[in-house]
Amino acid sequence: MQIDELLKIMVDKKASDLHLKVSCVPALRIDGALLRLEQLPVLDLKDIESVLQQVTTAEQRMTFMVDHELDFAYAVPGLARFRVNILQQRGTMGFVFRLVPFRISSIDELGLPQILKELVLKPRGLILVTGPTGSGKSTTLAAMVDYLNKNAARSVITIEDPIEFLHHDEKCIIVQRDLGDDTKSFAAALTHSLRHDPNVIVVGEMRDLDTISTAIRAAETGHLVLSTLHTTDAAQTVDRIIDVFPPGQQQQIRLQVSQAIEAVLSQALLPLAVGKGRIAAFEIMIANAAVRNLIRDERTFELHNVMQLCSTEGMRTLDEALANLVKEKKITLEQALIKSSNQQQLKGYLGLGLTHSLS
């Protein structure tokens, strides 16, 4: 099996992911749905081992033998880059290839909120892009860095696992570090990055206490820090950060987060109502005085109320964003209800009775 041929099929069909597993045919994820390529033969152990040999180095294979899991980047010249995850399952291997285009789409091309342009030009603070796996967080971050690169002269360091989008210096000087090849951990890379004269630090994911703590400190000391979390809304994001710390430290961390945070952008991808493709819905929380007070006073449950009241500042809840997309006929009501965090509120925005359901 030639993996590059399968990856070309993936790109041609505009799939986001390719799944390979013993005793199954290859499968693609297209617009969020899995499609089995039934015209292709079922994969056996020999096929999977061949793929491993084609896409990894001897050092990567040794790492996989020890850890039974591996993340890395793989490129097909002239086609695309791919983020690859391999894991051991039932004594064999499972692969997922995630498409990462060579070309970075702009904020405008992706239809992202215009306020992202203003946010990424801020001199300091913490900006978080959140959402479930596969919601486009990395694509949004890449578009923001690309806008910065075209519009401001800054020193930028990215720490990723693995490096996905490749940035080429325009107005910015951009250093990209790969977890594993270039550094041993997010937290260690963050600490050393602070000595490399950065204006902006991009952390692929805030995974643990050390990384979160260092990121907050970096934002407090005059750097702009961009990162992601697997949370679904602004209130949950703040609580997740606080809850990582021991109880005795949480009040101090609340104070630090309230001072460092600049924005939380929570996104969800939904299928278009007409045609193929997906569109992003964004919840946007901007850290004004009211937001900072609520975070400091342990009243994160009131953040949604502030977002509703401060729409003129660019804020909106996810349900407001979903309602707008339904009104514009870009997504269906049924899909909006599935993604909604408060279905009754969503129906209220749309002027529907509370009895309306998915049926």
Tokens coding 287: 């850290």
Q: What is the mean pLDDT of the chain?
A: 95
Question: E-strand spans in the chain?
Answer: 17-21, 27-30, 33-36, 69-76, 80-89, 92-100, 125-130, 155-160, 173-178, 200-203, 224-229, 261-271, 278-286
pLDDT above 90 covers a percentage of the chain that reads: 92
Tokens coding 73: 């980047």
CATH architecture of 3-100: 2-Layer Sandwich (3.30)
pLDDT digits (tens, 9 = 90+) for 180-189: 889 989 999 9
Q: What number is the average pLDDT over the span 200-228?
A: 95
Q: What number is the average pLDDT over the span 286-300?
A: 98
d(CA 205, CA 131): 12
d(CA 303, CA 295): 8
**The CATH number of domain 107-316 is 3.40.50.300:** yes
Q: How confident is the model at residue 358 (pLDDT cuts 50, 70, 90)?
A: very low
Q: What number is the average pLDDT over the span 271-294?
A: 96
Cβ atoms < 10 Å from Cβ of 108: 11
Give the pLDDT of residue 359.
39
Give the pLDDT of residue 341.
87
Region of residue 140 (phi > 0: left; psi between -120 and 50: alpha; otherwise: beta): alpha
Q: With 60 as the cut, is the pLDDT of residue 285 above it?
A: yes
pLDDT digits (tens, 9 = 90+) for 15-59: 999 999 999 999 999 999 999 999 999 999 999 999 999 999 999
- Please list the residue range(s) of the chain that carry CATH number 3.40.50.300: 107-316
pLDDT digits (tens, 9 = 90+) for 316-327: 999 999 999 999
Residue with the bigger pLDDT between 356 and 124: it is: 124
Q: With 90 as the cut, is the pLDDT of residue 352 above it?
A: no
Q: What number is the average pLDDT over the span 202-227?
A: 95
d(CA 287, CA 291): 5
Strands 27-30 and 17-21: antiparallel
**25-34, 212-221, 248-257, 350-359 — which is least confidently predicted?**
350-359
pLDDT digits (tens, 9 = 90+) for 117-176: 999 999 999 999 999 988 999 999 999 999 999 999 999 999 999 899 999 999 999 999
Question: For 273, which DSSP code?
Answer: S
Which residues lie closer than 8 Å to 48 by C-beta, 6 or more apart? 20, 21, 22, 92, 93, 95
Give the pLDDT of residue 357.
47
289 burial (CB, 10 Å; 0-12 / 13-18 / 19+) is exposed
- Please list the residue range(s) of the chain that carry CATH number 3.30.450.90: 3-100
Give the pLDDT of residue 353.
61
Give the pLDDT of residue 281.
97
Q: With 80 as the cut, is the pLDDT of residue 83 above it?
A: yes
